[in-house]
Every structure is written in structure tokens, then in C-alpha cells.
Structure 1
Amino acid sequence: MVSLDIVRARALEGVAHGFFGRGGGLSTGAVAGLNCGTGSGDDPNIVEANRRLAADAILPGTPIASVYQIHSPTAVIVTEALPYDERAQADALVTDRPGLLLGVVTADCAPILMADRQSGVAAAVHAGWRGATAGVTDQAIAAMLTLGAKVENISAAIGPCLARASFEVGHEFAEQLVADDPANERFFSEGPRDTPHFDLEAYLIARLAAAGVRKIEAAGLDTYELENRFYSYRRATHRNEPTYGRQISLIGLSG
């Protein structure tokens, strides 16, 4: 029996979901563990087997719908799990179909899972700094509303991601975001190298709250620091490693 590392959110209690770590998978080498990213150079059959392990831990036998992630604000409504080469280019998926898992993969970017239990609508979001600041959460919520969700009934959970202490950014990015809204200054602090550090998690909490979401939970887990639990693009880059794995986050509506 494979033991998987699954982070669950109280905010999504009663909804089938999970933010997966790297523990318990079949991959070896630099991506050892539950690598669910097809772009990692890992054996595609092993990646698919890892994804199946994850899916069966949430809703056994249920297919995973995913998108080709491009760090955009684009959200799409999905009704079925398409083959990889037919997936939409987007960074958020929304559905009202039971028996379908929505999945996003991350390696420092923030995975966000959302649901309106009353209306039977769910969403999975991939939010790096580009998608977050461009409004991917806003578009995901808008798509949920078109399927009958009510924003006051939406619960949102932000999974493991790069924390402020590990998220060094350029001065230009910080200056632009503060210029767009001076209130954004609260999401930055000065790092040890006199460069800004960005609090992606806090920024996303603020975006979700501004959109009207009332129940928001954040995991508070740093993918960079927690090497034994999570993959990290930035950590792999700093170490000049040849590749890096991706963890998967899933949410689905049971039939």
C-alpha cells in the first residue's frame, strides 16, 4: 500500500480534494516521489501512474481533467477529461459535473481549490505571480458564477507554495505592483540581499477576499524549504539540478 502525503483543507470539508506532496510516488532520481508533471522529462508511464495514485486517493477510478498551464489569467469550463494534446491552454478549470477531478500541477506556484457546495461547482487554479497579478482567481470565480455558483458560498483553499522568505523578486516587479495599487506594498518585504520578497499567499488571500469569497484557508507550507515534502522549481534552479518534479492538487464533485 503506497502512502501518499496529502494536505487537506478544513474550508473544503465535505468536498473531495487534496494538495499532494512528493511522498509515496513511483518516480526516481531527481524527481523521486509522486511526480505528476509531464514536462519534467520523467517516464510518461510513471507520471501517469502517479497521477492515477493521486486520483484514486481522492475519488477512486475518476478521470483527471487538466489544462496546458501557461501562467495566464485564463479560466475554462470543462465537462470531461481530454487527452493531453487536446487540452486547453489555461490556468484554471471549473466544472459542475460530478465524477470528474480537476487537477493543476505546481512546483512553487500556488494551487488553489474552490467549491460552492450548495450549487455543486468546483474549480482548480494554478497561480504563479504572473497569473495571480493578472487575475486568474477573478476569472475562475467568474466562470464558477456562470455555472450557478454564488460568490458568498464559495470556499477557497490555497495549497503549498513559495513563501515570502523564499520568494525573492526584482525591484521592477515590486514597483509596478505598488504603482498599480499602493496597498500592494504590504505584500513585500526587504530580503537579506536588499531585494524585495513577495508574499504570494497573502496576495492571493487578498484577491479572493476582494472578489467576495468569505471562507479562505491557506496551507502556510513553503515548497522551497520543505525539500522532503515538495518539489520546487526555484530550489532546483539554485542547485543547478537538471529537472524538477511537479506536485498535483485535485478537487472533484462526487456523484
Structure 2
Amino acid sequence: MHVGLDTWEYHTNCSLLEPWYHGFFTKQFSPSSPFEITKALHPEASVYRLKQVHGNTVFSPQEIEDWLTKSIINEGEDDSTFASGDGLISTEPSQAVWVATADCTPVLIADEKTGQVAAVHAGWRGTALKIVPQAISRLQAQGSKLENLRIAMGPAISGEVYQVSEQVAAEVGASITPYNNEKTILDALQDIPLSPLLPDPEPGRVRLDVRRVNTLQMETLGISLEQIAIAPYCTYQTPEYFFSYRREHQKKVQWSGIVSKNPTNH
């Protein structure tokens, strides 16, 4: 598994995604929007983002444009309205797809053959609903092969400090175990090598590594650890660079995005 990421000023990128314009941007870029950041990253790219709702809906740019047209016609809303979802996949080159996070996991996915990309907002709810496998399935429907995907999970709250209820842990854990009973799920999670479940001193509570659960979901699909990079940063424990909702209880976010490119010929 690749864990080494290069930090360049206030922007973190991943060597696995080096052929693509991309970045996990820190709070120093706030309050810049994805539209403003894309101008610096790749000025010719068209920009797409969503109103994130902790679900597992994945949109393509065309679906966003169709939704926006329908919204304007039917409801009279203006162009500032965003479709509700938590994942975006490109369909053409030079499309920048963005997600916002403040403890949840930003996931950037790229296909080294087709050049297509995805950006996913994977909090515990989205992870329980398998949003990353959903985005990968959408890419496969467009011709991607699993072995050609490169995936980076950006800065997020780490398992060692992310306290959740046993009920939440079981709901997330159900996405990677065949069981449906809370205790059985928790027991199964604890038996996994490098378990995503860590002990907590408070009764009825545990610590949950959401990025580890996403990794296990991808392994189940047949994706190898060599295709996955995980940023060695915790948003909660790194206040100088990242907003953390759990630490600050304020709705401030940092942006993560990637730009699709032309297919490769080899």
C-alpha cells in the first residue's frame, strides 16, 4: 500500500495520481471555491460539484446538467442550485470533479487507460451505503477495468480518535461482513487483520477507521492494495491544516478534486 504523499505548500497530491491534475487542498485555500481552485489547477477544465447529503448517489456531468435544466424549468431555481449527491464521475476529458470534507474521507479515483476520474465524499453513512463501490461500478459501466484504477483517500479523521456508537460501527461494518446482527458484526470486525474497529473506554462506544473499511470494500471488489494510497493525515489532529467538524463543530470544509484526461494509447 502506498502511503507516501508529497506536500507542496498547502496542497497535497498523490504519486499514484501523478498523471492527472488533482489535489487534496487544505484549509488555507478557504474560502476559495472549486471553480476558483480549478482555474489555478487546470484553467480549461469544466467544474462540477454537488450538494453533499451523506448518501451514495453518484452523478455524471451530463446528469447534473440534465438535473439543473429540469430544476430551472420546473421550479424556477437559478444556476447556483446544486444536485444532491456524494459522488461524481467524469465522462469526457478536462472535467474537474470535486468533493468537500471536514472529517469524512475524500476519495479520488482515476483510470490509467480511459483517463476518466471520480471524486467521492465517503463519511460513515456513505461508507455504510458503499458509495465508493458504487462510483467504481459507474466507471466500469463506462469501460473501466478494475486493474487500471488508481485510488487515493485523502485527509480524514483517523480511527484512533473517531469515537462512534456500536450501532454506527455495526451499520458501517455490515458493508464488509455477511452478518446482520450487531454483536456478530462487531465480533467479525474485530477478527479482521488490521481491524477497522478499535477499543474505546466509554461503554457502548468504539473507535472506527472509516478509511480502512473503504479499503476492505475495494479489496472485496478485487482491487489490490498497490492500487490504493491513503494520506497520512488526520483532520481532527492536524488543526493547522485541516478543518474538523468534530473538533470545531462548525461547517467549514476543505476541497478535493481531480481532472479527467485523454485516454492513453498503451
Verify same fold: TM over 0.5. yes
Structure 1, unmatched stretches of 5+, are 26-33, 36-48, 238-242
Q: 1:94 to 1:222 in 2, by over 3 A?
A: same
* Equivalent residue number for residue 61 of structure 2: 78
Q: Is 1:250 the equivalent of 2:233?
A: no
User: Partner of 1:29 in structure 2?
Assistant: none
Q: How far does residue 61 in structure 1 lie from its aligned partner after superposition? A: 4.4
Q: Deviations over 1:95-116 (max 9, x none)?
A: 1211210000011000000011
Q: Deviations over 1:158-201 (max 9, x none)?
A: 00001012210012223453644554332111124342000111
After superposition, where does 1:48-63 map in structure 2 within 5 Å? 49-63=32-46
TM-score normalised by structure 2 residue count: 0.78
- Deviations 1:45-101, CA, capped at 9 Å, x for gaps: xxxx4434421332124332012211111112224776431x322111111211210
Q: Match of 1:196, as an amino acid?
A: V
Q: What root-mean-square deviation, in Å, do the aligned CA atoms of Structure 1 and Structure 2 show?
A: 2.1
Secondary structure at the residue paired with 1:164? coil
- Does residue 196 in structure 1 map to residue 179 in structure 2? no
Task: Give distance in 1, aligned partners of 2:170 and 2:94.
Answer: 44
SS in 1 for 2:83: coil
Q: Which one of the candidate residues 208, 233, 236 is aligned to 1:224?
A: 236
Q: How does 1:160-239 map to 2 (within 5 A)?
A: 160-176=155-171, 177=173, 179-180=179-180, 181=185, 183-185=188-190, 186-194=195-203, 195-214=205-224, 215-237=227-249
Identity of aligned residues (%): 28
Tell me which structure has the larger Cα radius of gyration.
Answer: 2
Alpha-carbon deviation of 1:10?
A: 1.3
The 1:251/1:116 distance shift into structure 2, 3 A limit, reads same
Residue 148 (structure 2) pairs with residue 153 (structure 1) = yes
Preserved CA contact (<8 Å) 1:156 1:213? no
2:116 touches 2:261 (CA, 8 Å); kept in 1?
A: no
Which stretches of structure 1, 4 residues or more, deviate above 4 A after TM superposition? none
Aligned length: 225
SS of the aligned residue for 2:251 comes to coil
* Counterpart for residue 143 of structure 1: 138
Structure 2 alignment gaps of length 5 or more: 1-7, 69-78
| 2:104 maps to 1:101 | no
Deviation at 1:124, TM superposition (A): 0.4
Q: CA deviation at 1:4?
A: 5.6
Which secondary structure state, in structure 2, belongs to the residue aligned with residue 68 of structure 1? Answer: coil
Instruction: Name the stretch that deviates more: 196-205 or 3-12.
Output: 3-12
For residues 11-30 of structure 1, what are the structure 2 equivalents within 5 Å? 11-23=16-28, 25=29
Q: Note the alpha carbon deviations across 1:19-64, whole angstroms, 9 max, x for none.
A: 10112x3xxxxxxxx13xxxxxxxxxxxxx4434421332124332
SS of 1:7 mapped into structure 2: strand
Secondary structure of the residue aligned to 1:120 is coil
